[in-house]
Amino acid sequence: MPVTAIVGGHWGDEGKGKVVDALAAGANLVIRYNGGNNAGHTVVSERGTLRLHQVPSGICYAEVDCVIGPGVVVNPAALFEELDMLEAAGISTARLRISDRAHLVFPFHVEVDETVEVARGPKAHGTTRRGIWPVYAEKAARTGIRAGDLLEPQFLQERLNEASRRATALLGRTVTAGELWYLCEEWSDRLPGRGRVRRRGDSASAHRARDRGGQGIFNGGRCGSNADRAWRWTRRPPAGTGTGIWSQYRPAAPVWVV
């Protein structure tokens, strides 16, 4: 199945969401492959103006499978608000799947982002202060917590113990494993409990779409390496490497949005 990769070539706000929404009309799979809820894709449809941050822009089409890929960092609390907004607009989110390898944004990540940005003073990087880069830093260090960890309580508890110690050291206040566990229980009720997170669920959705033929869309954010500071928007490289299923498809036709 051929795919088309949508990549932002500037500082954001290039209209990537509108491009994905237009192309998704002829596709059967849309995968969001990088970034987090720092992104904003606005889609205007007959159901009104929809502001998407983590959900792929193809969600407006009933026949399109949508996947949040392993290259994305997911803020569950913000995602739930987005899903509620879509359902209220009459748009089903039942076709949305989340990769078990996508990393999760906790409130302490947001606090770390805010604290570090304030400490930079006049040399602040201008981050969105939504905890994106701290999660990608943990991902690179192999210490982050992934969506699939919610399916493994014993392993999750070990990771939360480690995360609470790191957060306490970084913030200078006590962050307990218990409060993180409470959040995970709440998230588990709405993520794995509704079948959204599955082991290799992103690949399964991709295989179904491939078998049906048609077109796939890789829905990404901007290209971080082309800004004045490559680390201002911390994301995986472009062109679909964050989809987790790149090798299964014919080379993508890139759409560079500026």
Catalytic residue among 10, 13, 84, 189: 13
Q: Tell me the backbone φ, ψ of residue 203, rounded to 5 degrees.
A: -65, -40
Task: Give exposure, 72-81, as e/b (b: 16+ Cβ within 10 Å).
Answer: bbbbbebbee
Residue 11, SS3 per DSSP: coil
- Residues 209 and 215 sit within 8 Å (Cβ to Cβ): no
Chain mean position to CA 55: 8
> Is 41 considered catalytic here?
yes
- Residues 165 and 140 sit within 8 Å (Cβ to Cβ): no
Tokens in use for 167? 């957060």
180 backbone φψ class: left, alpha, beta (φ>0; ψ -120 to 50): alpha
Give every CB contact of residue 28 below 8 A, 6+ residues apart in sequence.
Answer: 63, 64, 65, 209, 212, 213, 214, 215, 216
The CA-to-CA distance between both ends of the chain, in Å, stands at: 26
CA-to-CA distance for 158 and 165, rounded, in angstroms?
Answer: 11
> Is 103 considered catalytic here?
no
Catalytic residue among 21, 41, 100, 103: 41
Active site residues: 13, 41
